Amino acid sequence: MRGTSAIVGIGESTYYKAGAATESEFQLTCTAIRRAAEDAGISVKDIDGFVSYANDRNIPTRLATALGVRELRFSGLAWDGGGNGVAGALAVADAAVTAGYANYVVCYRGLAQGQFGRFGQARERGRMRAEGHEAFRIPFGVVAPATWYAIIARRFLYEHGTTENSLAEIALVSYDNAQRNPRAVRYGRPLTKEEYLRSRWIVEPFRLYDCCQESDGAAAVIVTSADRARDHPKKPAYIWAAAQGMEYRGAAGGAFGAGYNDPEFPTAHLKVVARQLWSRAGIGPQDVQVAQFYENFTGMVVMAICELGFADPDEVEDWLLAGNIRWPNGRLPINTSGGNLAEAYIHGFELVNEAVRQVRGESTSQVDNVYYSLVVAGPGALPASAAILSAER
């Protein structure tokens, strides 16, 4: 990697609360892709590659036909059904462009939960058989993501003496940043610590504001080679490094983010990814100026911060409460658009757009002198992934 490809265009639909969209999921996705092409200064017909993740319903052949793509040359999917694939999709696009399989690859995610139902809703009720990893969860009532991840986070909090104050800090930071972002669904709806603590339990240790919101919308980016990127109107965000994977037996006893028999339990499954990422990038956590952490649940963000090397697990609460993740003066401002919690839950892909804005200097919570911008995909889901964008090649 090291900047052989770059993101030259970003786009999104309007972000809606789940059920509020007037367009279908497919229409939302087409809108995000068209806007990304416009931002890149190309015709949508010039797109010749499509990459998504999480088994996106908006398949490349239908998108290419509807958008008038002249020639579809590449399509790919980062495997599995969770938000773990956000950065994995960027890696696939980078590989396609670098290998010459396509010139302009659009990475995208569309999600209309009002149309198709809540993404994280338990739907196994009434089934008579649970197979594979579901056999470790469903018979015991562990049927929704909030429950899967609560078990992991609860154990982490216990082992390291971490309290609800750390979880609250993640939520408060995301909501605070959303108040400067007119795109955010929670724009104009600030959150106080008192309101956070009064909110109802979903499953301990997660309260209402610890859980990502439900949304309708789509987001997309255009990836091309570094050589072509110089000819586009916006400042390129170079894909400096990406990594995807998991530890030994990471899916044992639950898979898809559970891994209750994983030898490393409790984990966000990012330790192997972190080693790969920093090695490929040739930098370390101290070199990153801003980060977007996928908040499926706040406890998983706390774990991800530790596993990426920004804080020691036994000291992470002090590190968080010292203001390190707050904009503008924190050591590592995070989720500067509001993230999944407060901007929109586009299955995490809106975080990529924000990472690009930080490189360009266009964020509503802009960090000074951004050179490296980090994106961390859904912590706890498998296979995990992360990527680093750079301001220069």
Query: What is the average per-residue pLDDT within 94-110?
Result: 98
pLDDT tens readout for residues 193-233: 999 999 999 999 999 999 999 999 999 999 999 999 999 99
Q: Band of the pLDDT at 138, cuts 50, 70, 90?
A: confident
Give the span between the Cα atoms of 293 and 295, in whole angstroms. Answer: 6
Higher pLDDT, 131 or 73: 73
Query: What was the pLDDT predicted at 257?
Result: 58
Query: What was the pLDDT predicted at 120?
Result: 63
pLDDT tens readout for residues 36-89: 999 999 999 999 999 999 989 999 999 999 999 999 999 999 987 789 999 999
pLDDT at 126 over 60: no
Query: What was the pLDDT predicted at 260?
Result: 75
pLDDT at 124 over 90: no
Of 22-31, 81-90, 271-280, 336-345, minimum mean pLDDT range? 81-90
Query: What was the pLDDT predicted at 198?
Result: 98
User: Catalytic residue among 53, 345, 371, 372, which?
Assistant: 345
Angstrom CA distances, 222 to 21, 32, 53, 117, stand at: 24, 11, 15, 28
Length of the chain in terms of residues written = 393
Q: Band of the pLDDT at 3, cuts 50, 70, 90?
A: very high
Query: What is the average per-residue pLDDT within 327-347?
Result: 98
Q: Band of the pLDDT at 258, cuts 50, 70, 90?
A: low
Query: What was the pLDDT predicted at 72?
Result: 98
Please say if 372 is a catalytic residue. no
Query: What was the pLDDT predicted at 119?
Result: 65
Query: What was the pLDDT predicted at 224?
Result: 98
Give the span between the Cα atoms of 274 and 279, in whole angstroms. Answer: 8
Domain extent listing, the chain: 5-118+210-390
Q: Band of the pLDDT at 256, cuts 50, 70, 90?
A: low
Query: What was the pLDDT predicted at 136?
Result: 76
Could you count the other beta carbons within 10 Å of the beta carbon of residue 199? 16
Higher pLDDT, 357 or 127: 357
CATH number of 5-118+210-390: 3.40.47.10
pLDDT at 275 over 70: yes
Query: What was the pLDDT predicted at 80?
Result: 79
**Neighbour-count burial of 257, counting CB atoms closer than 10 A to its CB (0-12 exposed, 13-18 middle, 19+ buried):** buried
Query: What was the pLDDT predicted at 123?
Result: 57
Query: What was the pLDDT predicted at 1?
Result: 79
pLDDT tens readout for residues 144-202: 889 989 999 999 999 999 999 999 999 999 999 999 999 999 999 999 999 999 999 99
Query: What was the pLDDT predicted at 122?
Result: 62
The vertex-380 CA angle with 224 and 88, nearest 5°, equals 15
- Cβ atoms of 88 and 383 within 8 Å: the answer is yes
Higher pLDDT, 330 or 249: 330
Give the span between the Cα atoms of 166 and 373, in whole angstroms. Answer: 23
Report pTM.
0.96
Query: What is the average per-residue pLDDT within 358-370?
Result: 98
pLDDT at 131 over 70: yes
Please say if 15 is a catalytic residue. no
Structure token digits, residue 387: 């990527």
State the SS3 of the chain.
Answer: CCCCEEEEEEEECCCEECCCCCCCHHHHHHHHHHHHHHHHCCCHHHCCEEEEECCCCCCHHHHHHHHCCCCCCEEEEECCCCHHHHHHHHHHHHHHHHHCCCCCEEEEEEEEHHHHCCCCCCCCCCCCCCCHHHHHCHHHCCCCHHHHHHHHHHHHHHHHCCCHHHHHHHHHHHHHHHCCCCCCCCCCCCCCHHHHHHCCEEECCEEHHHECCCEEEEEEEEEEEHHHHCCCCCCCEEEEEEEEECCCCCCCCCCCCCCCCCCCCCCCCCHHHHHHHHHHHCCCHHHCCEEEECCCEHHHHHHHHHHCCCCCHHHHHHHHHCCCCCCCCCCCCECCCCHHHHCCCCCCCHHHHHHHHHHHCCCCCCCCCCCEEEEECCCCCCCEEEEEEECCC
User: Catalytic residue among 53, 294, 371, 372, which?
Assistant: 294
